[in-house]
């Protein structure tokens, strides 16, 4: 039995060694195949890269776009033209063009050229309409003024011939030496004023008077720009009685959002009714403004419609025995209404003071709100400040 097992063990060892040799050979073959595939892929990529590099170099040579050497770069040899090479929208014969920009001269291309030329001419005409050579002349000729309507860009408006201009000498008679400007010439003197509403809170009117303020324009009420509801200013009674007790002259203003003549009359009647027990020593103003930060019921009014409604308010207030005045910004007066149809009434102009000209609003106005960021003792926070122009003979 021992010989049998010895022979069996020898045969087993030989079989194991043979299997091991086959395994090693198979693994080696797989590795060789794997390496061969990697080599083939790498060589293919290298060949493609060389082909692309050769093509790129050839293109550079054809277009003469070889990069400048270090000396050229360090000496500032590059210009803006070098950096704008791929801008093919400019008609510059000195700039090289890409192959796709050079087309055969056939009939189809001629038609395309005509179409492109026509489009270019249309663009030039459009550009001239938006920014014509005359625009600078408009700015300098003294016959135009810039203004901006809500939702639109600022543009030039021709001044209306025959409409009275203001004759204030801002350059020579407006003093900017103090925190509050002063104006005085042989024709006019001015009085200092504030205009207030509930947003100024509780006011110490004695301090206001002591701080050099002569009069107050007090908000009497408003129409909601969304709801259309009429409302009395919450602080109207306290403000008008307090200002009167402190010795200030008083006027009032109503924030209008009328969209029909009936509503304009309603606003004027409301104002007159609220004044019944108080009266005024200064004008009654209709406040005509755009609501800049929201949509308002008056946004769709035309300049003509807005003007008619403003006049209707003034006519109604005048019939009650009060002196009407129209409060509006320069932009509203120029771009949002028709100034020549408002000439029967005084204007209370809102326009931020400009050091060199005061205000460039050309037409007549009697009251000027020159800042919305003023400060007065007795009033917390910022407040609107005004000048009221009074002709010397009217004193």
Q: How confident is the model at residue 127 (pLDDT cuts 50, 70, 90)?
A: very low
In angstroms, the CA 4 to CA 12 distance is 12
Q: Which of 14-23, 54-63, 146-155, 198-207 has the lowest mean pLDDT?
A: 54-63
Domain boundaries, the chain: 1-102, 103-130, 166-394
DSSP state of 394: G
- Greatest pairwise CA separation for the chain in angstroms: 153
In angstroms, the CA 59 to CA 96 distance is 12
In angstroms, the CA 185 to CA 138 distance is 30
The CATH code for residues 166-394 is: 3.20.20.80
Return the pLDDT at 48: 56
Return the pLDDT at 137: 52
pLDDT, mean of residues 257-268: 98
pLDDT, mean of residues 17-33: 72
Please classify residue 261 by burial: count the beta carbons closer than 10 Å to its beta carbon, then call 0-12 exposed, 13-18 middle and 19+ buried: middle
Whether 75 has a pLDDT exceeding 90, the answer reads no
Return the pLDDT at 356: 73
For the entire predicted model, the pTM comes to: 0.66
Return the pLDDT at 184: 86
Cα 26 to chain centroid distance, Å, stands at: 78
Contact at 8 Å (CB) between 289 and 328? Answer: yes
Q: Chain-wide mean pLDDT for the chain?
A: 78
DSSP state of 93: T
Q: How confident is the model at residue 33 (pLDDT cuts 50, 70, 90)?
A: confident
Q: What is the pLDDT of residues 90-119, one digit of tens each?
A: 344 433 333 333 333 343 344 444 444 444
In angstroms, the CA 377 to CA 206 distance is 9
Q: Which of 37-46, 73-82, 147-156 has the lowest mean pLDDT?
A: 73-82
Q: How confident is the model at residue 82 (pLDDT cuts 50, 70, 90)?
A: very low
Return the pLDDT at 31: 76
Range of 45-49, 126-130, 172-176, 227-231 with top mean pLDDT: 227-231
SS3 348: strand
Residue ranges in 218-359 assigned as alpha helix (H): 236-245, 261-274, 303-319, 330-331
pLDDT, mean of residues 235-252: 98
Whether 178 has a pLDDT exceeding 90, the answer reads no
In angstroms, the CA 37 to CA 137 distance is 78
Q: What is the pLDDT of residues 34-46, one digit of tens each?
A: 676 666 655 665 6
Return the pLDDT at 43: 62
Q: What is the pLDDT of residues 289-327, one digit of tens each?
A: 999 999 999 999 999 999 999 999 999 999 999 999 999
Q: What is the pLDDT of residues 334-391, one digit of tens each?
A: 999 999 999 999 999 999 998 778 999 999 999 999 999 999 999 999 999 999 999 8
Q: How confident is the model at residue 60 (pLDDT cuts 50, 70, 90)?
A: very low
In angstroms, the CA 223 to CA 326 distance is 16
Contact at 8 Å (CB) between 195 and 216? Answer: yes
In angstroms, the CA 388 to CA 395 distance is 12
Cα first-last separation, the chain:
150
Residue with tokens 């009167």: 244
Residue with tokens 């033209």: 81
Return the pLDDT at 272: 98
Six token digits for residue 238: 């306290």
Considering only residues 180 and 295, tell me which one the structure prediction assigns the higher pLDDT. Answer: 295
Give the Cα-Cα-Cα angle 347, 218, 388 (nearest 5 degrees): 40
Residue with tokens 């091991």: 20
DSSP state of 95: S
In angstroms, the CA 88 to CA 341 distance is 53
Return the pLDDT at 175: 86
Whether 6 has a pLDDT exceeding 50, the answer reads no
Residue with tokens 């108080």: 278
Q: What is the phi/psi pair of residue 240, to 5°?
A: -70, -35
Q: How confident is the model at residue 134 (pLDDT cuts 50, 70, 90)?
A: very low
Tell which phi-psi region holds residue 236, choosing left (phi > 0), alpha (psi between -120 and 50) or beta. alpha
SS3 354: strand
Whether 133 has a pLDDT exceeding 50, the answer reads no
Six token digits for residue 7: 């022979």
pLDDT, mean of residues 237-242: 98
């Amino acid at each position: 039995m021992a010989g049998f097992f010895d022979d069996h063990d020898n045969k087993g060892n030989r079989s194991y060694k043979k299997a091991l040799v086959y395994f090693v050979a198979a693994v080696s073959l797989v590795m060789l195949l794997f390496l061969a595939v990697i080599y083939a892929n790498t060589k293919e990529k290298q060949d493609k890269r060389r082909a692309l590099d050769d093509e790129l170099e050839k293109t550079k040579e054809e277009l003469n776009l070889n990069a400048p050497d270090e000396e050229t770069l360090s000496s500032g040899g590059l210009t803006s033209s070098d950096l704008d090479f791929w801008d093919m929208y400019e008609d510059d014969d000195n700039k090289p063009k890409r192959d796709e920009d050079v087309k055969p001269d056939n009939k189809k291309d001629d038609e395309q050229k005509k179409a492109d030329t026509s489009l270019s001419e249309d663009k030039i005409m459009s550009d001239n309409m938006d920014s014509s050579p005359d625009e600078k002349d408009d700015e300098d000729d003294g016959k135009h003024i810039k203004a901006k309507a809500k939702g639109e860009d600022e543009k030039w408006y021709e001044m209306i011939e025959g409409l009275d201009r203001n004759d204030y000498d801002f350059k020579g008679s407006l003093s900017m030496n103090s925190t509050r400007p002063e104006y005085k010439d042989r024709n006019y003197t001015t009085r200092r004023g504030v205009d207030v509403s509930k947003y100024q809170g509780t006011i110490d009117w004695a301090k206001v008077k002591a701080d050099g303020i002569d009069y107050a324009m007090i908000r009497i009420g408003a129409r909601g720009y969304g709801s259309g509801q009429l409302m009395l200013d919450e602080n109207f009674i306290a403000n008008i009685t307090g200002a009167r007790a402190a010795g200030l002259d008083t006027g009032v203003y109503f924030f209008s959002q009328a969209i029909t003549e009936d509503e304009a009359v309603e606003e004027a009647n409301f104002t007159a009714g609220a004044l019944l027990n108080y009266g005024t020593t200064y004008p009654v103003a209709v406040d005509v403004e755009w609501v800049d930060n929201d949509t308002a019921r008056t946004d769709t009014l035309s300049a003509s419609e807005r003007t008619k409604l403003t006049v209707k308010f003034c006519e109604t207030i005048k019939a009650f025995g009060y002196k009407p005045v129209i409060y509006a910004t320069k932009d509203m007066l120029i771009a949002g209404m028709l100034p020549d149809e408002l000439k029967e009434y005084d204007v209370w102009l809102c326009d931020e003071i400009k050091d060199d000209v005061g205000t460039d609003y050309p037409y007549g106005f009697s009251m000027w709100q020159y800042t919305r960021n003023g400060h007065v003792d007795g009033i917390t926070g910022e407040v609107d400040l005004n000048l009221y122009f009074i002709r010397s003979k009217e004193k």
